[in-house]
Amino acid sequence: MTGCGGSTAESSKSAETSEEKVTTTVAAETVPPETAAEPVVTSFRAPEEYGKVIALTFDDGPDVVSTNMILDVFEENDARASFFLIGDNITDAAYDTVRREVELGCEVNSHSKTHSYMDKMTAEEIKAEMEYTDEKIKEITGVTPRFFRPPYIAVSDTMFENIDKPFINGIGCNDWDKSVSAETIAEKVLEQAEDGVIILLHDGGSNFRTAEAVKTIVPELQKQGYELVTVSELFHAKGIEPQEDDILYSRAEQTTMY
């Protein structure tokens, strides 16, 4: 299996910490259905063993072309990303793309079913958006997604009350806007890179500009000493348990809403 992150070496190292045993247990208890992808059991190291970490995240996929272009870059550079999927985009044709995300050690999370303004929705409508996408993702990955990114970063009290996942925002650069070039995307992301932050980009909607930009972003961040990790690993590396209420995380160490 072509996994990211040298998980073999990490497993032996992490077995020494009790924290790691918890991670391993969770993974072992999740029995994927027969059709599910085989996720790389990525064992996290002890938090003090991390240097600078950053989480690149991609919204609105899966897209069979642009998502795979982005995955190629992460695979080539042995790095990990997190993807926030729109339930309605998880078509049968996109199953293999989602499988590949997991098989490369990337994290698959929820970005709702229909990508609507959920701050205008009732509790029942919110739950339906979440349940559909959770089920779809679980069907492919064997795991219920851990994090949620609200469409348009629009939130309400009703959403916080009815969604039992931490809400993830991120530092972006309007890369969904077709007038923003690959060069500008790369430049803006590198300018805003900082230890512990979450970067918000888009792989959905055939975003070839972002796919092009990550060819620069990923190796350059690594050259600057960053380890590109999933959102889960970012929180773990910073020793933080993400909260499910009233915070929109753009960095692991976020304590206020934005």
Q: Residues in the site for Zn ion, rule: CB under 5 A?
A: 59-60
Q: Supply the minimum distance, in Å, between the C-beta of residue 84 and Zn ion.
A: 7
DSSP H or E stretch at residue 213: helix 208-223
Quick one: 60 or 212, whose CB is closer to Zn ion?
60
Nearest to Zn ion of 43, 109 (CB atom): 109
Catalytic residue check, 177: no
Conformation bin of residue 66: beta by default, left when phi > 0, alpha when psi is -120 to 50:
alpha
Instruction: Label residue 110 left, alpha or beta by phi (over 0 means left) and psi (-120 to 50 means alpha).
Output: beta
60 or 227: CB nearest Zn ion = 60
Contact 84, 149 (CB under 8 A): yes
Question: What is the nearest approach in angstroms of Zn ion to the Cβ of residue 183?
Answer: 23
Q: C-alpha angle with apex 82: 79 to 87, nearest 5 degrees?
A: 145
Answer yes or no: 111 catalytic.
Answer: no
Residue 151 CB, nearest approach to Zn ion (Å): 5
Whether the CB-CB separation of 182 and 258 falls below 8 Å is answered with no
Q: Which of 60, 63, 195, 202 is catalytic?
A: 202
**Which of 59, 60, 134, 195 is labelled catalytic?**
59
Give the CB-nearest residue to Zn ion: 59
The catalytic site residues sit at 59, 202
